[in-house]
Each structure stands twice: as structure tokens, then as C-alpha cells.
């Protein structure tokens, strides 16, 4: 158990809908990262937040957005869902948001999103 929690575990929805994925980082971790694992793209970095602020952006679609709240939990919002958004979404957390020896990331169990 990494200490990172993600809810829900599974989510099934229809095209055009909007969903919210939630992540609670390990106690004391200030950084949260979101990754998407799809059959087409593999495992790819989406976005990072550090202490409430966006720190880095990867291949995140404009239909997707994220935020990190004062209690450090994070939410990934996916809107106007398409079939291709079906994937496993991982959240990870780390102590700091800057590079260096403390960039070890601990991954949550993932949320499996199915868009029908």
C-alpha cells in the first residue's frame, strides 16, 4: 500500500459526460501527479500540482482539468468524454515539487474509466 488513495476504483459513463476523479496523497506529500494509461498512448504524464499550484503540464487535453485543494487532495475533471478517454488514470504523490533526490513518486491504485 503506497498510502495514495484514489476514488472511485471503477467508473463507467457515456460519451459526452463529465466525471471527476479524486486523489488523496500520502500524508506530508505536497505534490500530486496525474498519469493516464491507455492502450494507444501507454502511460503518460498529464499534469502536476505542488501545494495547490500547477507545476507542470504534459499531454493533457483541453477537455481535462485538474486542481489541488488546500487539504492537498486533487481532482481530475474530464469533460465531453470520448471513447478514447477510456483508460486507467493514476495519481502519484511526492514530498516536494522540485527536482532532486526527493522526486520519488508513490502511485495510487488507479481509477479505471470506461466510456461507452
Partner 1 sequence: AQKVTQAQTEISVVEKEDVTLDCVYETRDTTYYLFWYKQPPSGELVFLIRRNSFDEQNEISGRYSWNFQKSTSSFNFTITASQVVDSAVYFCALSEDRDDKIIFGKGTRLHILP
The binding site for partner 1 (CB under 8 A) comprises 2, 31, 33, 35, 42-45, 48, 55-56, 58, 88, 90, 92, 94, 97-101, 103-107, 109-110, 112
Q: Return the number of the residue (36 or 115) whose C-beta is nearest partner 1.
A: 36
Q: Return the number of the residue (80 or 104) whose C-beta is nearest partner 1.
A: 104
| CA 21/CA 6 separation, integer angstroms | 7
Q: Return the number of the residue (59 or 77) whose C-beta is nearest partner 1.
A: 59
Closest by CA to 92, choosing from 41, 38, 44, is 44
Question: Half-sphere exposure of 20 toward its Cβ, with a 13 Å CA cutoff?
Answer: 7
Q: Return the number of the residue (2 or 65) whose C-beta is nearest partner 1.
A: 2
Q: Per this entry, what is the length of the chain? A: 116
Query: Please, what is the minimum distance in Å from the beta carbon of residue 9 to partner 1?
Result: 10
| CA 94/CA 50 separation, integer angstroms | 9
Query: Please, what is the minimum distance in Å from the beta carbon of residue 103 to partner 1?
Result: 5
Backbone φ and ψ of 85, nearest 5°: -80, -10
Amino acid at each position: 500500500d503506497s498510502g495514495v488513495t484514489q476514488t472511485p476504483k471503477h467508473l463507467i459513463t457515456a460519451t459526452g459526460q463529465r466525471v471527476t476523479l479524486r486523489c488523496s496523497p500520502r500524508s506530508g506529500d505536497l505534490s500530486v501527479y496525474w498519469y493516464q494509461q491507455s492502450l494507444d498512448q501507454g502511460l503518460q504524464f498529464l499534469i502536476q500540482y505542488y501545494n495547490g499550484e500547477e507545476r507542470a503540464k504534459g499531454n493533457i487535453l483541453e477537455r481535462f482539468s485538474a486542481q489541488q485543494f488546500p487539504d492537498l487532495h486533487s481532482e481530475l475533471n474530464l469533460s465531453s468524454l470520448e471513447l478514447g478517454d477510456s483508460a486507467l488514470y493514476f495519481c502519484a504523490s511526492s514530498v516536494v515539487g522540485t527536482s532532486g533526490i526527493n522526486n520519488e513518486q508513490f502511485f495510487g491504485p488507479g481509477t479505471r474509466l470506461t466510456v461507452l
